Structure 1
Amino acid sequence: MRITWLGHSAFRVEFDDRAILIDPFLTGNPSFTGDRAAVSAGVSHILLTHGHGDHVGDTIDLARETGAVVVSNADLVTFLAGKGVAKVEPMNTGGTIDLGGFTVTMVRADHSASLIDNGISIAVGNANGLIVKAPGQPVLYHLGDTDIFSDMALIAELHEPKIGLVPIGDRFTMGPKSAALAVRRYLNLDVVMPCHYASFPGLEANADAFAAALEGHPTRVLAPRPGETVEVN
């Protein structure tokens, strides 16, 4: 599995002959300096953890340009369909859908969700984490935006994720110490990649404190630069 961090909480994930985007916030993302066309090349699906502008990002334009299917909670994809997104797959917390070659499960996250439309805040369902499973690939868990919660242990028991994309930025999500505690106490991961940091003022500027809090733990911390691709087997 090849994972490219695009800055903030945006990722491109490739496995087998698939390429998917998660929370593709590119325009306005101060950490993203790459080529948008290259990032979206061959993408078949766009997965969204929740409805905030820094996660929905370029979804509408990318879906139109690529023909990708947008997958998220029913409220959010209904809103996006009304904005012209042609292909959507609605789901909700606890549900799993088969997308042909891989499945996605929505799990709990502790956060809010809304989008601004013509100056009005519109509720677009709950915030979620995403579990991505594909045959022969390690199970991927994008936690979305969240605080630590003890039911992460149940998520780990049910889905056995081995790669975690974990927010550490503080202010809007858990900070480095809480995120590291979540990894230590609740998640039995092989690899963890921090996200939702080093993008905006008020967020953690780097992953140093997170990595230090996991020193000596068997989970391997990978903190690529924005635009860098890592391969995890």
Structure 2
Amino acid sequence: MRITWYGHSAFKLQFADKGLLFDPFITGSGYGGGLDDAMAGVTHVLLTHGHDDHVGDTVEIAKRTGATLISSFEIVSWLGQQGVEKVEPMNTGGAITVDDFTVTLTQAFHSSGALVNGVFAQLGHPNGIIVEAPGEPTVFHLGDTGLFGDMKLINELYRPKIGFVPVGDRFTMGARTAAYAVNNFFDFDLVVPCHYGTFGLLAPDADSFVKQVTKPGTKVMVPEKGRAFEA
């Protein structure tokens, strides 16, 4: 499996002939490689929730690539009205198998919505996303979330080995709570911190989180934006 981080919460997973792009906030995020680079080879877009810094460039990417959008019922309905043609609607706790991999939406402690015609519209529940594919490590994108005890149940049920964990504080877990979750609730082989440094309101880096992850066997990696690595 090849993983690329584009800053904030945007990740691409590549395995077999699939390209899964999570929360593609590319334009305006500070990533210098450009949208064409991020969406190369993308077959599916997965959204954790409806905030602008996660929906990002979804509509343009879906239109230009023909990628299938996978997200909550409310989000895919909203983006369908904006021209996204191929959609797979879901909701919290549900799972689907599409193109030989399985996606499950977990709960996340956050909010989800967008300004629509000047009015803030609710867009369903925020989610985390589990991806399971034959012969590949199970991946858990936690989305934007606070700490919650049922993370332990998610670990017991799905046994994710790679975690994309928000650490920027204020709107999500910060270094202390994110490290607590990794140390106490999960058995990750690899953790990639995210949702930091993009805006002035967030923690500027992941250094404190990295120092506080002490669980034996868990590696923390802070990759360079746009540079793919194997996992």
TM-score, length basis structure 2: 0.98
Task: Tell me the matched-pair count.
Answer: 231
1:133 counterpart residue number? 132
- Tell me the amino acid that sits aligned with residue 28 of structure 1: G
Distance (whole Å) between structure 2 residues aligned to residue 133 and residue 192 of structure 1: 16
Distance (whole Å) between structure 2 residues aligned to residue 216 and residue 64 of structure 1: 42
**Are 1:55 and 2:59 matched, yes or no?**
no
Question: Per-residue deviation at 1:216?
Answer: 5.7
Match runs of 1:78-227 below 5 Å: 78-215=77-214, 217-227=216-226
- Tell me the amino acid that sits aligned with residue 25 of structure 1: F
Secondary structure of the residue aligned to 1:104 is strand
C-alpha root-mean-square deviation of aligned residues, in Å? 0.9
Question: Per-residue deviation at 1:165?
Answer: 0.1
- Tell me the amino acid that sits aligned with residue 76 of structure 2: V
In structure 1, the gaps of 5 or more residues are: none
Q: Deviations over 1:170-212 (max 9, x none)?
A: 0100101100000011011000000000110021111110010
Match runs of 1:1-12 below 5 Å: 1-12=1-12
2:17 counterpart residue number? 17
2:76 counterpart residue number? 77
Deviation larger for 162-171 or 200-209: 200-209
Q: Deviations over 1:134-173 (max 9, x none)?
A: 0000000000000110000000000000000000000100
In structure 2, the gaps of 5 or more residues are: none
Secondary structure of the residue aligned to 2:135 is coil
Question: Per-residue deviation at 1:100?
Answer: 1.2
Question: Per-residue deviation at 1:38?
Answer: 2.2
TM-score, length basis structure 1: 0.97
Question: Per-residue deviation at 1:228?
Answer: 1.9
Question: Per-residue deviation at 1:40?
Answer: 0.9
Distance (whole Å) between structure 1 residues aligned to residue 40 and residue 28 of structure 2: 20
Kindly indicate whether the alpha-carbon contact (under 8 Å) linking 2:27 and 2:34 is maintained by their aligned counterparts in 1: no
Kindly indicate whether the alpha-carbon contact (under 8 Å) linking 2:26 and 2:38 is maintained by their aligned counterparts in 1: no
